[in-house]
A and B are shown apart, each in its own frame.
Chain A
Amino acid sequence: MLDSNKDSLKLEAMKRIVAMIARGKNASDLFPAVVKNVACKNIEVKKLVYVYLVRYAEEQQDLALLSISTFQRGLKDPNQLIRASALRVLSSIRVPIIVPIMMLAIKEAASDMSPYVRKTAAHAIPKLYSLDSDQKDQLIEVIEKLLADKTTLVAGSVVMAFEEVCPERIDLIHKNYRKLCNLLIDVEEWGQVVIINMLTRYARTQFLSPNQNESLLEENPEKAFYGSDEEDSKDDKPDAASLVKRKPYVMDPDHRLLLRNTKPLLQSRNAAVVMAVAQLYFHLAPKAEVGVIAKALVRLLRSHRSQGNWAAAKAALSVQGMFEPYLKSFYIRSTDPTQIKILKLEVLTNLANETNISTILREFQTYIRSMDKDFVAATIQAIGRCATNIGKVRDTCLNGLVQLLSNRDELVVAESVVVIKKLLQMQPSQHSEIIKHMAKLTDNIQVPMARASILWLIGEYCEHVPKIAPDVLRKMSKSFTGEEDIVKLQVINLAAKLYLTNSKQSKLLTQYVLNLAKYDQNYDIRDRARFIRQLIVPTEKSGALNKYAKKLFLAQKPAPILESSFKDRDHFQLGSLSHLLNAKAVGYQELPDWPDEAPDPSVRNVEVPCYEEEEEQEQVKKGKKKPPQDEGKGGSESSWEEGSVSESSSSESDSGSEAEESQSEPESKRRTTVRGRAGQPGRGLLPLSSGTTPLPCREVGRSSHPPPCTGLGLSSCPSLSILDQLITSQPQHVPTAFLPPSAQMLSPVFSTMKTYELLHRMAGEGLSVEYYFNRQPFPPDPHMVAVQIQFSNNTESEVKNLRVSEPKLVSGMRIQEFQEIAVEPSGSMVGIDTCPQLPGVNWAGSFSLWHVSSSTHSRQFYVSIQPPVGELMAPVFMSENEFKKEQSKLTGMSEITEKLTLLDKCQSDHTIVQRVTAAANHLHAPSFPTGRFAAKTVTSGSLILITLEQKEAARAHLTVNSEKMVIGTMLVQDISQALAQ
């Protein structure tokens, strides 16, 4: 059926095959037939083939290779779902030969436009890593890039990849820590769990313990106050250490951020998330704040999904003390499964204190009558523990337990005997009655452990029951041969003790027992008998030890401590698998201890706008990581890709991602090379402005992104002449016409060049095209707007004959085409200026797309450029008087006013200027109290004036005066949007 032409038949066949796989039947014989269908158009067939491939590719590696090309094609599909699923399958077929292909695909996908595909890339990382761990370094690079991703969809998956591939590289997190904290709430639930667990570990290494002061005070309050001499003398650096310790603890704001942002997640419906937050609080929060998790944990416990709540209960065991208000939630129902009953019991016992013990004991009394005998036994033990912990109720408990001795169920009696034994050991003298009672029980009780306990008790306290003890021994010696080993040992023990205290009555009996034991099957018993005989029975040889025999046997024994069996699991991370099993699971990562001194918190600073020293630091760091020649002017493909990522992320939102920063640095290097080579004063303009004003420095660094392409030289490129012309002509135009008094004022105008994507390299088959408005006058025709277009070739092969063919222009538009670019070698970039003119007459029309089809020698791509209105003008310099004069002319219909509320971060003049100039190519007229901006439209030269008056309480009036009303309204919209961001 698989060979048939009809999709429906194929589908039917595939369905049957998948059903076979599901049932665990081997369907690998069909591999060749199935693989053929991997290119099938029907999406359901395709999916099922994928399912099949993933299952069997490992077994039939050679045949699986046949399918690879299909996936590679799928990776370039315009549909993001298909791209993602192709990557998923490609990375899921575990065939070592395709590792390089996978690596390439992951790298590609990591910079895909669609976050879904990026998420899939993050998923693919651990798969590749498990297949070939040699790729680790490259994978870490990809992880680093993805960690900087701002979408919530990716965050969870990439952290998961991080945890599996390189959990030790905690330094990768620094830059992203705050972002992760802030995104956390919007990440999908499963991602939240992983991120929270990772952040717990991170915080443990990066912050100081919030409880250190307390614990210090608890341990040695005096020392904390007066400083300790001993400690100091031991300590290598006594002063520093004690200083750090004495300094009042101030929580790192980032630590606080984490705690604050995770708290709402306690309300999550997902138990795993709640648990993750609970463990985070347990391990990270100051003691006073840990209490908040109690409520949430009790909720988990109560949840009706019975099997889920044992985990919570186990957690509750570790986190004692805060559950007191919820005591009744732990009361046990007869319908609970046994394990939960026992856990609840454990919690109840741990919660017991003097005030609530009476209620708990009353509750226990009901449990004792339960039909579930294991549970009853556990309850009796719990009572014992309560009794030892709380002295007040010991007698009550003991009496209760003694009553249980008359229970008909043997298990119950046995368990009580064992517990009573332990209790009696604490205060034997007052309870000879009980011992007598228990001695009587030996006739009835058959459970060996209980019999042994009774015998031990009688032996130990034979002085309190002098008459009964020998009698018991007599009975026991009769039945000796039929007893269990453990009982036999105790019989011997009893005999020895009696022999020592009351040798008259028991000498013969002891001899008899020892003789019996001598021929016992168990060597342990034979040994013991021999050993004891030598010890107690006086013979000629064994003089020395004999004297001490009494001391040996009847020494005071310390009372046992009844402990919970759950006591010693605190060293595992709460809620982890290891914690649950109390054994280290594979891959468990130890929670690190708090550091003594906090590592430098500044590593997490990312969004601080460009401080000189920080950048220097960064440069030093980067310099270490990558050899500088990598970012040389050759512009290798990888570094270019990085660049394109930084562009896309920067257009999304504010600066701050790491990729961007890393980009800014090589950029500055390139800049210098440009300057060095050209050596013209006009080119020095950009570096100059960056040197003098620290704040926009980085911005300029980014905006000067294009120069590297021009500076790349590309001596073979014909367009270079245009560019050169442009650049050289720049100083002539700018200073004469508009150059403001200081370069500082001009820099914001350049600061925010956004790059727009014209052709993605997925769609362009390796050729990617971007454009931006460089805001420079276009020398051949001053009435045109310059658009700089960059081509970059990401393919292996050369791209030839790039040109614009048949531009479809809206009426009234002009374009000056660029010359054909003959050859573009692989991995190179070309920058081109092209200048459409957008005349003022036909505004509405010109905003519709500007269609250009750029075509290579074989392929044609249709692209369109849509200029924002702000780019269609050039800044004008005018004095205040001029400005007012012009403004007064443009009132009425040509004045548009809007009221705005400025956000906090936009309050300062500087940011306002920055944002407005980013939105529109205006010149900020200096020295006015209110923000004023002036510009002319490039085509018609009509004035556009912007006034921004700040009122109190963050209000502001935005006025735009222009005779072009359409421009005016659009500009108002753009600017108010820019300010609202």
Chain B
Amino acid sequence: MIHSLFLINSSGDIFLEKHWKSVVSRSVCDYFFEAQERATEAENVPPVIPTPHHYLLNVYRHKIFFVAVIQTEVPPLFVIEFLHRVVDTFQDYFGVCSEVVIKDNVVVVYEVLEEMLDNGFPLATESNILKELIKPPTILRTVVNTITGSTNVGDQLPTGQLSVVPWRRTGVKYTNNEAYFDVIEEIDAIIDKSGSTITAEIQGVIDACVKLTGMPDLTLSFMNPRLLDDVSFHPCVRFKRWESERILSFIPPDGNFRLLSYHVSAQNLVAIPVYVKQNISFRDSSSLGRFEITVGPKQTMGKTVEGVMVTSQMPKGVLNMSLTPSQGMHTFDPVTKLLSWDVGKINPQKLPNLKGTMSLQAGTSKPDENPTINLQFKIQQLAISGLKVNRLDMYGEKYKPFKGIKYMTKAGKFQVRT
């Protein structure tokens, strides 16, 4: 299984190594650096790199390469998924997962990694269990520890590890019992030049933050569960119940977790909440090009579109752009050729617009392709698929919890071809 793990930052320094079996020399990473050099961008590094004696599997997140070394046949997704889980755990422990944070908390990181794998096989990956074994660092705890001499390491086996509900610890107590659910939907779409949709899909997740005392048993039902085409659950959800009644029934983990991710069936037409009108033209002869983008709302069900951000990778021939936006800020990086325009809120009465000229490299002919435009936006209080939670019930405990549900629609990979 997994032999070793190396964390490598974007400048190519190995800043952490951990071995679960015999020590593998860090020179094995040279193969990785080689591959990294060959790939132009960080994302393009091949995820599996075979070397004469080992295989290097890597994941690139938060500007850190997580490189796992394995020696024998393992399902590659097993390793990749585990690496992602490691990143998630770090994020859970420290809030952010960055080189600095990992370096600062290297001991905790080491202890966590030690618990996560035994002899290269995952031992405890539930963050609830890990947090009982090794408590995440907080300022308060550090102070207390230095004064009292107590430790971050739990000396009892977490109860969850042995129970049938490993994701929940026993003896949870809160004064305010709350359960919040966020229904977040992302639209992945490709829109062509003329504004018609080539493909559009909705990916949704329900993230929950549950702070309830004891062992509550929750059921969540939807008004229109038929919408959900393909779902994947947190292990706590009882699959049988979903199959037969389309009700989510579960004993929730404590704290934040992803209850469900779903996909809305492609048969349903996806409402596209924004449109982009663009006019980008290069002329062969002159060294100037025209550039104009307008963003407007469409099918938003009366909600405002916020947090709009337009980015576009301009062709290499573009030297500079002089643009004037009707609202928001725009930047153009002449090195990476990345144009980004932070639009903000869309006011339907006065549509935001970015207009100006591009100066092109003299002598070169016009690029074959107009740049594609990537769009980000947010719409609060709306699930674009129309999914609605019907009710949330709690069994098994006596108190009345405070329940809340929030909807949000975001752009996923929303691309407009020009």
Residues of A within 8 A of B (CB): 7-8, 11, 15, 18-19, 21-24, 42-44, 47-48, 50-51, 55, 58, 79-82, 84, 88, 91-92, 94, 114-116, 120, 123-124, 126-127, 130, 152-153, 157, 160, 185-186, 188-190, 193, 197, 264, 267-272, 274-276, 295-296, 298-300, 302, 304-308, 310-312, 325-326, 328-329, 331, 333-335, 337-339, 363, 366, 369-371, 407-409, 575-578, 580-581, 583, 585-589
Q: Is the CB of B80 within 8 A of A271?
A: yes
Give the residue name and chain of the A residue nearest to B7 (CB).
Answer: A22
Determine which of B22, B157, B415 lies in contact with A335 in the assembled complex, contact meaning CB atoms within 8 Å. Answer: B415
Q: Mark B133-156, 1 if CB is under 8 A from A, else 0.
A: 000000000000010010111011
Whether, in the assembled complex, B372 has its beta carbon less than 8 Å from a beta carbon of chain A, the answer is yes
Give the residue name and chain of the B residue nearest to A11 (CB).
Answer: B151
Residues of A within 8 A of B114 (CB): 47, 50-51
B225-233, B291-299, B350-358, B388-396 - interface stretch: B225-233
Chain A, interface SS category: helix
Query: In the assembly, what is the distance between CA of A586 and CA of B69, in Å?
Result: 13
Which residues 1-48 in B have Cβ within 8 Å of A in the complex? 1, 14-19, 21-23, 26, 41, 43-44, 46-48
Contact of A81 with B155 at beta-carbon distance under 8 Å, contacts A22-B18, A24-B17 already known: yes
Residues of B within 8 A of A (CB): 1, 14-19, 21-23, 26, 41, 43-44, 46-48, 50, 55, 58-60, 70-78, 80-82, 84, 106-107, 109-111, 114, 118-119, 121-123, 125, 146, 149, 151-153, 155-157, 161-162, 164, 166, 188, 190, 192, 198-199, 201, 203, 229-235, 239, 243, 258, 261, 263, 266, 313, 315-316, 365, 367-369, 372, 374, 412-413, 415, 417
Contact of A331 with B199 at beta-carbon distance under 8 Å, contacts A22-B18, A575-B77 already known: yes
Residues of A within 8 A of B76 (CB): 311, 575-577, 580
Residues of A within 8 A of B78 (CB): 190, 193, 272
Query: In the assembly, what is the distance between CA of A296 and CA of B313, in Å?
Result: 33
Q: Is the CB of A22 within 8 A of B109?
A: yes
Q: Is the CB of A585 within 8 A of B41?
A: no
Q: Is the CB of B121 within 8 A of A577?
A: no
Residues of A within 8 A of B72 (CB): 585-588
B194 CB to closest chain A CB (Å) equals 12
Q: Is the CB of A268 within 8 A of B235?
A: yes
- Count how many pairs of residues, one from A and one from B, have CB atoms less than 8 Å apart in the complex: 231
Query: In the assembly, what is the distance between CA of A82 and CA of B156, in Å?
Result: 8
Q: Is the CB of A123 within 8 A of B48?
A: no
Residues of B within 8 A of A339 (CB): 44, 46
Determine which of A116, A274, A589 lies in contact with B162 in the assembled complex, contact meaning CB atoms within 8 Å. Answer: A116
Determine which of A19, A81, A306, A408 lies in contact with B106 in the assembled complex, contact meaning CB atoms within 8 Å. Answer: A19
Determine which of A24, A185, A366, A409 lies in contact with B14 in the assembled complex, contact meaning CB atoms within 8 Å. Answer: A24
Q: Is the CB of A276 within 8 A of B75?
A: yes
Q: Is the CB of B157 within 8 A of A116?
A: yes
Give the residue name and chain of the B residue nearest to A328 (CB).
Answer: B199
Q: Is the CB of B119 within 8 A of A123?
A: yes
Q: Is the CB of A15 within 8 A of B107?
A: yes
Q: Is the CB of B118 within 8 A of A88?
A: yes
Q: Is the CB of B73 within 8 A of A337?
A: no
Determine which of B26, B199, B234, B365 lies in contact with A408 in the assembled complex, contact meaning CB atoms within 8 Å. Answer: B365
Q: Is the CB of A43 within 8 A of B153?
A: yes
Can you pick out 11 interface pairs between chain A and chain B where the beta carbons lie within 8 Å of each other? Answer: A80-B157, A272-B81, A298-B230, A299-B263, A302-B203, A306-B43, A310-B47, A325-B266, A326-B266, A408-B368, A577-B48
Query: In the assembly, what is the distance between CA of A590 and CA of B137, in Å?
Result: 47
Residues of A within 8 A of B188 (CB): 302
Give the residue name and chain of the B residue nearest to A46 (CB).
Answer: B153
Determine which of A8, A81, A190, A587 lies in contact with B156 in the assembled complex, contact meaning CB atoms within 8 Å. Answer: A81
Give the residue name and chain of the B residue nearest to A56 (CB).
Answer: B23
Other CB < 8 Å A-B pairs besides A190-B78, A306-B43, A334-B415, 18 of them? A22-B17, A22-B110, A23-B16, A80-B157, A157-B121, A185-B239, A267-B233, A269-B233, A269-B234, A269-B235, A276-B75, A311-B76, A329-B199, A339-B44, A366-B192, A577-B55, A581-B50, A587-B72
Residues of B within 8 A of A326 (CB): 266
Query: In the assembly, what is the distance between CA of A304 and CA of B263, in Å?
Result: 13
> Which 4 pairs across A and B sit closest by C-beta, in order of nearness?
A587-B72, A44-B151, A369-B369, A328-B199
Q: Is the CB of B81 within 8 A of A308?
A: yes
Residues of A within 8 A of B229 (CB): 295
Query: In the assembly, what is the distance between CA of A321 and CA of B156, in Å?
Result: 52
Q: Is the CB of A190 within 8 A of B125?
A: yes
Q: Is the CB of A295 within 8 A of B230?
A: yes
Residues of A within 8 A of B81 (CB): 270-272, 308
Q: Is the CB of B75 within 8 A of A578?
A: no
Residues of B within 8 A of A335 (CB): 374, 413, 415
Determine which of A80, A302, A325, A337 lies in contact with B263 in the assembled complex, contact meaning CB atoms within 8 Å. Answer: A302
Residues of B within 8 A of A311 (CB): 47, 76-77, 80
Q: Is the CB of A583 within 8 A of B84?
A: no
Residues of A within 8 A of B199 (CB): 328-329, 331
Q: Is the CB of B75 within 8 A of A577?
A: yes
Determine which of B1, B146, B374, B412 lies in contact with A8 in the assembled complex, contact meaning CB atoms within 8 Å. Answer: B146
A91 CB to closest chain B CB (Å) equals 8
Q: Is the CB of A272 within 8 A of B73?
A: no
Query: In the assembly, what is the distance between CA of A151 and CA of B82, in Å?
Result: 23
Q: Is the CB of B55 within 8 A of A585?
A: yes
Q: Is the CB of A55 within 8 A of B261?
A: no
Residues of B within 8 A of A580 (CB): 48, 76
Query: In the assembly, what is the distance between CA of A894 and CA of B133, in Å?
Result: 52
Q: Is the CB of B110 within 8 A of A18?
A: yes
Give the residue name and chain of the B residue nearest to A308 (CB).
Answer: B80
Q: Is the CB of A269 within 8 A of B231?
A: no
Determine which of B70, B110, B230 lies in contact with A51 in the assembled complex, contact meaning CB atoms within 8 Å. Answer: B110
Residues of B within 8 A of A408 (CB): 365, 368
Query: In the assembly, what is the distance between CA of A56 and CA of B74, in Å?
Result: 27
Q: Is the CB of A589 within 8 A of B232?
A: no
Determine which of B55, B121, B367 lies in contact with A190 in the assembled complex, contact meaning CB atoms within 8 Å. Answer: B121
Residues of B within 8 A of A268 (CB): 232-233, 235
Q: Is the CB of B75 within 8 A of A126?
A: no
Query: In the assembly, what is the distance between CA of A83 and CA of B157, in Å?
Result: 10
Determine which of B77, B162, B203 lies in contact with A153 in the assembled complex, contact meaning CB atoms within 8 Å. Answer: B162
Query: In the assembly, what is the distance between CA of A328 and CA of B192, in Å?
Result: 14
Determine which of B17, B75, B77, B198 lies in contact with A308 in the assembled complex, contact meaning CB atoms within 8 Å. Answer: B77
Query: In the assembly, what is the distance between CA of A299 and CA of B233, in Å?
Result: 13
Query: In the assembly, what is the distance between CA of A576 and CA of B76, in Å?
Result: 6
Query: In the assembly, what is the distance between CA of A152 and CA of B365, in Å?
Result: 66
B193 CB to closest chain A CB (Å) equals 9
Query: In the assembly, what is the distance between CA of A89 and CA of B320, in Å?
Result: 61
Give the residue name and chain of the A residue nearest to B158 (CB).
Answer: A81
Query: In the assembly, what is the distance between CA of A773 and CA of B114, in Å?
Result: 46
A550 CB to closest chain B CB (Å) equals 44
Residues of A within 8 A of B153 (CB): 43-44, 47
Give the residue name and chain of the A residue nearest to B6 (CB).
Answer: A24
Query: In the assembly, what is the distance between CA of A475 and CA of B325, in Å?
Result: 56
Residues of A within 8 A of B372 (CB): 334
Contact of A409 with B266 at beta-carbon distance under 8 Å, contacts A55-B23, A308-B80, A577-B76 already known: no
Q: Is the CB of A578 within 8 A of B121?
A: no
Residues of B within 8 A of A369 (CB): 368-369
Residues of B within 8 A of A295 (CB): 229-230
Query: In the assembly, what is the distance between CA of A898 and CA of B74, in Å?
Result: 55
Query: In the assembly, what is the distance between CA of A306 and CA of B374, in Å?
Result: 17
Q: Is the CB of B110 within 8 A of A577?
A: no
Q: Is the CB of B258 within 8 A of A58?
A: no
Q: Is the CB of A22 within 8 A of B232?
A: no
Residues of B within 8 A of A581 (CB): 48, 50, 55
Determine which of A7, A55, A337 lies in contact with B19 in the assembled complex, contact meaning CB atoms within 8 Å. Answer: A55
Q: Is the CB of A337 within 8 A of B14?
A: no
Determine which of A43, A48, A589 lies in contact with B155 in the assembled complex, contact meaning CB atoms within 8 Å. Answer: A43
Q: Is the CB of A337 within 8 A of B44?
A: yes
Q: Is the CB of B50 within 8 A of A586?
A: no
Query: In the assembly, what is the distance between CA of A339 and CA of B239, in Å?
Result: 35
Residues of A within 8 A of B198 (CB): 328, 331, 363
